[in-house]
Amino acid sequence: MSDDTATPDLATARFGSGRAVPRIEDEGLLKGLGRFTDDLLPAGTLRVVFVRSPYPHARIVSVDTAQARAMPGVALVASGADLARAGVKPLPVNGNFKRPGGAPGASPQRPVLAHERVRFVGEPVAIVVAQSLQQARDAAEAVGVEYEELPQVVDVRQAVDGGIVAICDQAPDNIAAESRYGDAAAAQAAFAKAAHVVALDVENQRVVALSLEPRAVLAQVAEDGRLALRMSTQMPSGVRNAICDSLGLRREQVRVTVGDVGGGFGMKTGAYPEDLAIAWAAWQLKRPLKWAADRSEEFLSSHHGRDVRQHAELALAADGRILALRLRSLANVGAYATGTGTAIQLLIGPWVQTSVYDIPCIDFHFGAVLTNTAPTGAYRGAGRPEAIYLIERLMDEAARRTGIDRTLLRRRNFIRPEQMPYKNPMGQTYDVGRFEHVMDQALRQAGWAGFDVRAAASRVRGKWRGLGLATFLEWTGGNALEERVTVSVLPDGVIEVFSAVNQMGQGIATTLAQLVVDVFGVDIDQVRVVMGDTDRGDGFGSAGSRSLFTGGSALRAGAEKTLDAARELAARELEASAADLEYVAGRFSVRGTDLAVDLFALAGKQPQRRIHLESTTAVAGPSWPNGCHISEVELDPATGEVQVVAYSSVNDVGRVVNPTIVRGQLEGGAVQGIGQALSERMVYDAATGQPITGSLMDYAAPRFDAVRCEFVTRMDESTPCRNNPLGVKGVGELGTIGATPCVVNAVADALARAGRAELAPRLQMPLSPARVWGLLHEAD
């Protein structure tokens, strides 16, 4: 690559990296021109409805579809047994984890449609296809399913202790898998000599991803005889592969495309049973089929997040230095231990459990537990919020117990810059990090020293004011560190790029376009970003905050290689040496002469009328974004209501390509974290196994008034990542990870300042008014 790839020009100055370029996705969306899956309705499209289990656990005695099949407009009715007879393979479950004693990890087989047994309310039992949605609904009600109820369990502790029921025969104790890390004997020795030991029991409640757009699938057999699916998904290639594996089709027989996606938050990664059932039905009928989940279906059957119970102990020396961390964790992975759901709790979360602290010794024991609830999977942060919430609650509790100021306690335990690259006790290597530097900025920005004045003003109004802090890091990249891109310079003045990362509302198309501007120096409206088409290219997709970190790095490299190839073509066209060419804003010229050629005109002269390059690029490792989030809350002791009245953060995200988009990701993520801290909770009734929070009438999602303050958000670019050429760090999940601990720590601080410090360790999310009031008045 030549040294003068991108000479500075007006276009780069206006639209390149570091500029707050308006999102190129927004104009169409604001004009109502978005192309979501449910917007599409090809002629002759049939509608799909699923029959779902009303029981949390039952044996399927029989499924009678005769009446439904005879109803008007019905094209197909199929049960789980029908799909099994047709050779449709079940979804993969569990991963490479082991059960206690070393036996292979256990999980029930997960059929595309349940047969023999159902294991959670909402599990699909049959698929109904009809000419209209109403006809499909009517026929679904006519499907007769006879169930024999079985004992059920939805609570993770009862599942392992109560002996109520075994979700699968291979795991009579319902422990699907476990993982252990560290040195138990060394940890015990550290605890024996510790001056202080702090213990905490923490619950990280089950939550719903609640994307604005529910899941949707349009499937049909195209004119070329292939199965084509349009979906709302974050991972089109992964879904395509799952369909092929389940239906016995070759990769080239299936195409998955993605248009606009109204949010994913991890919930739309991978294939669901509904996706595979619809694909099979379309393949059988050779007709277009469409299914769009309603909100209640999403509450019942999409993957949930979190749901972890943990007991942790921290051993500290007299000066507050951490000697060891001991942890026992039980994660409720639901009725089927999916590979993702298991890995999040048994591997990914543990990777960051020691966070920004130099903890020399660990003893970790993680268990994945089966229950009669919907399976858990990726949800914004995926394991890292659970881990960070625990360690930050422990740090604040340790400060209260030892009497050491909580900022000083953190300073004494931070990993120092001179220790980088630093390998944590889980064997994960942090490339860079200046954690004390970030905290110092955050303390100044939040006005930490002036809090007492604000607390006094709150007391006058009858409110208890608390100050919360979280210093933390996270891992990003999904360990899918390679990406393929294509770059095409076209004669009509457009540079078209394709990437297998996917848009889902996060603005990635704009950010990728800015990287193209960096290289080619053209206006951003000359860049066309194409995503979401397995025919154009395979890739991991968008998850783990990897879209820019991995996909952007690959695109930048591919654009540079394409420009180098164009330079060689221009040199031949101008009969000059490539080294003598100057490139500025879409034009090559020979230095010192008036000889020149336009980049796009050059593309038109090529045999294929384009300059095209495919390339695959890998980054060197994950990125480790980090931050310090500080919140202030007001607690009304008369009602238990908690309001966030100040929120400030400093975030080390490496190089920033688009400040507006990054800020939006950080603050939007923080609101989701605040929602979990104060209100959100997916509840199953322990006695019946029925979901209680099955709609937005019951589930308390954060509203616009959840935060009565302006966010003060700073991005620190002073420590770029060393593992990718852009220097960027993943940002999409950072806000969520920091928000829950800093808000709960603020409430704990408010209690302590009001003389109720004994209640602080008993706080459990969500901190709803009823729960907080009840805690305050338990002794009354």
Residue 697 covered by a domain: no
505, pLDDT greater than 90 = no
Domain holding 257: CATH number? 3.90.1170.50
**323 and 183, same structural domain?**
yes
Q: Supply 87's token pair.
A: 């050779």
**336 and 188, same structural domain?**
yes
Residue 109 covered by a domain: yes
- Per-residue pLDDT band for 689 (boundaries 50, 70, 90) equals very high
Residue 607 covered by a domain: yes
The rounded distance, in Å, linking the Cα atoms of 241 and 218 is 17
Which of 211, 214, 210 shows the shortest CA–CA distance to 37? 214
3, pLDDT greater than 60 = no
The rounded distance, in Å, linking the Cα atoms of 542 and 635 is 38
Model pLDDT, residue 8:
52
- Determine how β-strand 124-130 pairs with β-strand 46-52: antiparallel
**543 and 469, same structural domain?**
no
Q: Model's pTM, two decimal places?
A: 0.95
Collapse the DSSP code of 110 into the 3-class scheme (helix H, G, I; strand E, B; otherwise coil) and give the result.
strand
Model pLDDT, residue 780:
62
**386 and 283, same structural domain?**
no
Residue 703 covered by a domain: no
Collapse the DSSP code of 156 into the 3-class scheme (helix H, G, I; strand E, B; otherwise coil) and give the result.
helix
588, pLDDT greater than 70 = yes
**606 and 595, same structural domain?**
yes
Domain holding 591: CATH number? 3.30.365.10
Q: Which residue has the tokens 């609570």?
A: 155
- Per-residue pLDDT band for 498 (boundaries 50, 70, 90) equals very high
Which tens digits make up the pLDDT trace of 538-552?
Answer: 888 777 778 888 888
**224 and 103, same structural domain?**
yes
**254 and 141, same structural domain?**
yes
- Per-residue pLDDT band for 779 (boundaries 50, 70, 90) equals low
> Average pLDDT over the chain, rounded to whole?
95
Helices 384-402 and 734-753: angle between axes, nearest 10 degrees:
30
The rounded distance, in Å, linking the Cα atoms of 75 and 136 is 9
Residue 721 covered by a domain: yes
Q: Name the burial class of residue 318, with classes exposed (0-12), middle (13-18) and buried (19+) by CB atoms within 10 angstroms of its CB.
A: exposed
- Of the three residues 301, 334, 349, the one that is the final residue of a domain is 301
Residue 673 covered by a domain: no
Q: Name the burial class of residue 131, with classes exposed (0-12), middle (13-18) and buried (19+) by CB atoms within 10 angstroms of its CB.
A: middle
**482 and 457, same structural domain?**
no
**139 and 230, same structural domain?**
yes
Residues paired with 32 in a beta bridge: none
Model pLDDT, residue 6:
43
Number of other CB atoms surrounding residue 225 within 10 Å: 8
**224 and 290, same structural domain?**
yes
Collapse the DSSP code of 506 into the 3-class scheme (helix H, G, I; strand E, B; otherwise coil) and give the result.
coil
- Of the three residues 414, 430, 446, the one that is the final residue of a domain is 430
Q: Which residue has the tokens 């395509």?
A: 240
Which of 302, 296, 308 shows the shortest CA–CA distance to 155? 308
Helices 406-413 and 384-402: angle between axes, nearest 10 degrees:
120
Collapse the DSSP code of 166 into the 3-class scheme (helix H, G, I; strand E, B; otherwise coil) and give the result.
coil
Half-sphere exposure of 343 (CA within 13 A, CB side): 11
Q: What is the DSSP letter of 709?
A: S
- Per-residue pLDDT band for 12 (boundaries 50, 70, 90) equals confident
Model pLDDT, residue 4:
42
- Determine how β-strand 711-716 pairs with β-strand 362-370: unpaired
- What percentage of residues in the chain have a pLDDT greater than 90? 90
Split into its structural domains, the chain has a count of 4
Model pLDDT, residue 538:
85
Residue 347 covered by a domain: yes
569, pLDDT greater than 70 = yes
CA distances in angstroms from 79 to 69, 113, 114, 275, 407, listed in the order given: 12, 7, 8, 15, 59
- Per-residue pLDDT band for 7 (boundaries 50, 70, 90) equals very low
Structural domain harbouring 146: 39-150+210-301
Q: What does R_g of the chain's alpha carbons equal in angstroms?
A: 28
End-to-end Cα separation, the chain, in angstroms:
74
- Of the three residues 430, 465, 496, the one that is the final residue of a domain is 430
- Determine how β-strand 289-292 pairs with β-strand 46-52: parallel
**How far from chain centre, in Å, is Cα 356?**
21
Between residues 416 and 484, the one the model is more confident about = 416
**413 and 543, same structural domain?**
no
**485 and 538, same structural domain?**
yes
Model pLDDT, residue 726:
94
Q: Supply 350's token pair.
A: 């543990």
Residue 705 covered by a domain: no
